[in-house]
Structure 1
Amino acid sequence: MIESFINYLEYEKRSSPHTVLAYRKDLEQFQEFCELSFGLQDIQQAQHAEIRAWVIDLVEQGLSTTSVNRKIATLRSFYKFLLKSSILSKDPTYKLKSLKNPKKLPEFVQESTIASVLEESVFQPTFEGQRDRMVMEFLYLTGVRLSELTGLKWSDIHLGEESVKVLGKRKKERIIPLTKGLKQNIISYQKVFEERFSKAEQSPYFIVSNQGKQSYPVMIYRIVRQYLDLFAQTSKRSPHVLRHTFATHLLNKGADLNAVKDLLGHANLAATQVYTHNSLEKLKAVFEQAHPKA
């Protein structure tokens, strides 16, 4: 039934490849645990006791609360699917509780630091250097997700309209405006892109490897880490940190929360509100302007 569930995620729920892979791994790990610990060949037969034992085992292994809760969510989705398919009549996860997750504020890069990271002189004038510059600028100036960047094609970029069409989670499209500076740098990048690859070699993808192939997550992580290492003091140096930075800087400058939500492609406002905790500059400015004792 694992394969049926995976097909359901992929073709009906239209989950991202990353999500599908994570769910598959979680279920395979649980299946292995049930077989080794309880002799269960089929996780359809698992009850609350077996599921709880797996959660305890994961905690004892030292997995983070976030990772354990994600695996619990996987099991909940799987058994909900079995109920919906009339394969089970009772949900073995109904008494299962998620672990309490300590709240962590999203890390972001300070404005002065990101300005240094994006200095033109930091990047080599080669194709690789200009490609890396585009990766850093695009993540920070549009707030796109890693998967959205690697899937972006030249046909999605509309320079005349100064916008980019992004295919987000659950195949939802959104339009993000391009700054005039980013537009000019895209034109420059396109020039070195065309100089580097012949017509026959040119990929439809916007960000490509040195060989002209579609970019991939490890490659983007490597680029981001390389340039953030030069200036940033944040403990995390990932593409998502630049997305956090995009949202935080917008809110610091007084951007409307709903507008930021739409730019990020969040399904609800709660996901965006976490960034308001980082907007101390904006809060201080409001306080100093409005409070009579400030």
Structure 2
Amino acid sequence: MSVSLAKVATEFLDRPGLAPSTVRSYESTLLPVLKQYGRWPIELLDRESIGEYLNDRKNLSYTTHHRHQAILQALFNFAVEQGYIRVNPLAGLRRRKPNPEKGEHQSDQTIHYLTTEQLTVLYQQLRSDNRLYTLVKLLHCSGARISEVLALDESDMDWGSQKFQVLGKGNKQRWCFYNDEAAQLLEKYRKYYRFSGHSALFTAKQPMSGHVTRLSYSTAYHRWRTLTNQNPLLRGLRLHDLRHTFATERVGLMGIEELRALMGHEKIETTLRYQKVTSERAKYIAKKAFQKL
């Protein structure tokens, strides 16, 4: 008896033990493919059709594209486990390569981190926007990706232990931790600046309808770009650079395996890149010291 892709996806999302943030992430990724292929019997979906679907997602960054492919592979692995299909049509499918013309680099080879001076200026610049200030502080002190934090609900937060769980690359869950300063900012933000009426931790209100929604990346990025472009020292910085800053600040303060776990890196080589960055940073600080002397 044929089973539709939509039915398999429903069972996949209804599995016990999935965190709410994980389910939301899966749902948002699977919705476009279900609109296109949801009624198809899953055994008719071959490598060519799914590969063509993935190739059409040209608006996605290569890292987001990898995430979409990984979730689809997990879905088809589930279908194999349940006996709906014999083999996963996406097994061994190559991932899309980064496009340097779009500023994409394999495994974030170009590591940009904020200097102490830039961080000081950044937080001064953001004081006029409490929501963005809190979001940036949480990204900076936790090392989480912007997509992971924006997917959080208030209920996902362990307020007592000052931590939260996210679904990272490779569909792996990990804990992220934040400090007392971020905890105080979050408390103030939730009490005075967060829009109620939605489960999301970071919310937004539509100016015309007044409808409360989850804060989108485009809204956060636009506000970030508006404020950082006002200062030459911050111009061109990315929200993702806060994650690089987190790692760079912690190299040498903890074991490389511990840092790898906090960052959610699949390969230790990815984490080791920050040791080189730290050496370059030490040289920069030494030169600044000589200038002062």
Residue 166 of structure 1 corresponds to 164
Residue 108 of structure 1 corresponds to 112
3-state SS in 1 of match to 2:85: coil
Which whole-Å deviations, capped at 9, do the CAs of 1:213-248 have from their partners, x for residues lacking one?
Answer: 6752344334433333334243x633x332232222
Residue 261 of structure 1 corresponds to 260
Label 1:92 to 1:18 Cα distance change in 2 as closer, same or farther (>3 A): closer
Tell me which moved more, 170-179 or 241-250.
170-179
Structure with higher Rg: it is 1
Residue 177 of structure 2 corresponds to 176
2:149 partner amino acid: E
Residue 250 of structure 2 corresponds to 250
Gaps spanning 5+ residues in structure 2: where? Answer: 99-104, 285-293
Shift of 1:273: 4.0
- Check whether the contact 1:248–1:275 (CA below 8 A) recurs between aligned residues: yes
Residue 135 of structure 1 corresponds to 135
Label 1:175 to 1:143 Cα distance change in 2 as closer, same or farther (>3 A): closer
Q: Following the alignment from structure 1 to structure 2, what is the Cα–Cα distance between the partners of residues 57 and 90?
A: 21
* TM-score, structure 2 normalization: 0.63
Label 1:229 to 1:256 Cα distance change in 2 as closer, same or farther (>3 A): farther
Shift of 1:166: 1.0
- Check whether the contact 1:10–1:16 (CA below 8 A) recurs between aligned residues: yes
Residue 157 of structure 1 corresponds to 159
Paired residues, number: 258
Q: Following the alignment from structure 1 to structure 2, what is the Cα–Cα distance between the partners of residues 223 and 274?
A: 30
Residue 289 of structure 2 corresponds to none
Equivalent of residue 29 in structure 2, options 6, 22, 34: 22
Q: Following the alignment from structure 2 to structure 1, what is the Cα–Cα distance between the partners of residues 172 and 93?
A: 31
- Check whether the contact 1:105–1:277 (CA below 8 A) recurs between aligned residues: no
Q: Following the alignment from structure 1 to structure 2, what is the Cα–Cα distance between the partners of residues 195 and 216?
A: 16
Residue 77 of structure 1 corresponds to 74
- Check whether the contact 2:131–2:193 (CA below 8 A) recurs between aligned residues: no
Shift of 1:164: 0.9
2:166 partner amino acid: G
Q: CA RMSD in A?
A: 4.6
Gaps spanning 5+ residues in structure 1: where? Answer: 33-39, 286-294
Label 1:209 to 1:113 Cα distance change in 2 as closer, same or farther (>3 A): same
Residue 86 of structure 2 corresponds to 89
Which whole-Å deviations, capped at 9, do the CAs of 1:29-86 have from their partners, x for residues lacking one?
Answer: 4x39xxxxxxx9545224445556x279649x79765566555445533432322221
Q: Following the alignment from structure 2 to structure 1, what is the Cα–Cα distance between the partners of residues 153 and 260?
A: 21
Which whole-Å deviations, capped at 9, do the CAs of 1:136-194 have from their partners, x for residues lacking one?
Answer: 22221232343436424697434xxxx51212227957362515x556x539x62x864
* TM-score, structure 1 normalization: 0.63
- Check whether the contact 2:137–2:182 (CA below 8 A) recurs between aligned residues: yes
